[in-house]
Chains A and B, each alone.
Chain A
């Protein structure tokens, strides 16, 4: 296995790990937000706004890792 093969290997593993992390974060976030909306339907709008912001932050961090894996795959 040469260096390029290892880089592709690392990119694939990295992309998988990134998705695991991002999905766990956004899943917990959505679960908590849905529970909050179910308990307090009046606050649905506020909760949804806060949920989108937090999802955006999690997604941003996930994309940092994804960019690294893309760089591994194309360099």
Chain B
């Protein structure tokens, strides 16, 4: 039993009518569950308006939004010479990805070829993360709750993204040097023979740890932000169970801290999208130009 659980139970015996303050915590209104269960319920894949998986819904929503935003951005090119509004905003990001990420890490010839893939990564991860910060309602087991969720906070989604990144990395090497040449390039030439039994397993392992690290990094970042926000809001309910006044006093503090973390999450959304894109580009460049 955790200390918080014991605290909850002890407080519950003293003040059983503290449910009004408990409602303020959104998901905290589950009742009878410990804080750990409530936090896990918030970040795990649950029912969303009858659909079995809320992550799937938000995954599709993010994909639709990416398509919509890029289509609208392209349309502003057809109307005039210079794009305005959304078109100009998307153009600056695409140009940044092409010039500062793709061509700087992969090289001037090959960088252009991988720009569409990198743009897809960037926009999808960014929009999926920002969607998680939008508080949308959900209805479950006769109770209303908040269901703004990040589909990249599900490890299956980040595994698929990292898998695409892995295929792109291997494709970059194989398409350029052929299957045999690609695997030969993994080992720097001119190594002493006795080092080979160490180097070959290490290089093959690092081939798989790169996308694995991408997967865990994105998943943990998206998960951690939501867990912190939920924990801060949960403090209201925990304090409310102690006494009515403590809950009221805790509310502005909790909301201020939660707002701060939410603003931080907007920054994290951009940084994580940038890092995933940049690392994919760096790894592609590593396989496309094995000399360095």
Contacts and interface: CB of A to CB of B under 8 A. Distances in A.
Given A59-B221, A66-B224, A74 B36 contact: yes
Contact of B36 (A49, A66, A67, A73): A73
Max chain B Cβ within 10 angstroms of own Cβ: one of A56, A67, A74 = A56
A53 B100 CA distance: 13
Interface string B252-285: 0000000000000000000110110011001000
Nearest to B274: A52
Interface residues of A, number: 16
Contacts of A64: 216, 220
Secondary structure at chain B's binding surface: helix, strand, loop or mixed? helix
Interface in A46-75: 49, 52-53, 56, 59-60, 63-64, 66-67, 70, 73-74
Contacts of A4: 1
Max chain B Cβ within 10 angstroms of own Cβ: one of A52, A64, A70, A73 = A70
B2 A52 contact: no
B213 interface: yes
B278 A53 contact: yes
Interface string B29-49: 000000010001000000000
Contacts of B279: 53, 56
Given A5-B1, A8-B2, A60 B217 contact: yes
Contact of A53 (B40, B224, B275): B275
A64 B217 CA distance: 8
B152 to A, nearest CB: 13
A56 B217 contact: yes
A52 B100 contact: no
Interface in B173-220: 213, 216-217, 220
Given A73-B36, A74-B40, A56 B220 contact: no
A67 B279 CA distance: 21
A63 B161 CA distance: 18
A59 B40 contact: no
Contacts of B213: 60
B27 to A, nearest CB: 15
Contacts of B275: 52-53, 56
Interface in B222-254: 224, 227
Contacts of A8: 2-3
B278 to A, nearest CB: 6
A63 B217 contact: yes
Interface of A: 4-5, 8, 49, 52-53, 56, 59-60, 63-64, 66-67, 70, 73-74
Closest 10 A/B residue pairs (Cβ): A63-B220, A60-B217, A56-B275, A8-B2, A60-B213, A74-B36, A67-B220, A74-B40, A64-B216, A53-B278
20 contacts: A4-B1, A5-B1, A8-B2, A8-B3, A53-B275, A53-B278, A53-B282, A56-B217, A56-B272, A56-B279, A59-B221, A60-B213, A60-B220, A63-B217, A63-B220, A64-B216, A67-B216, A67-B220, A73-B36, A74-B36
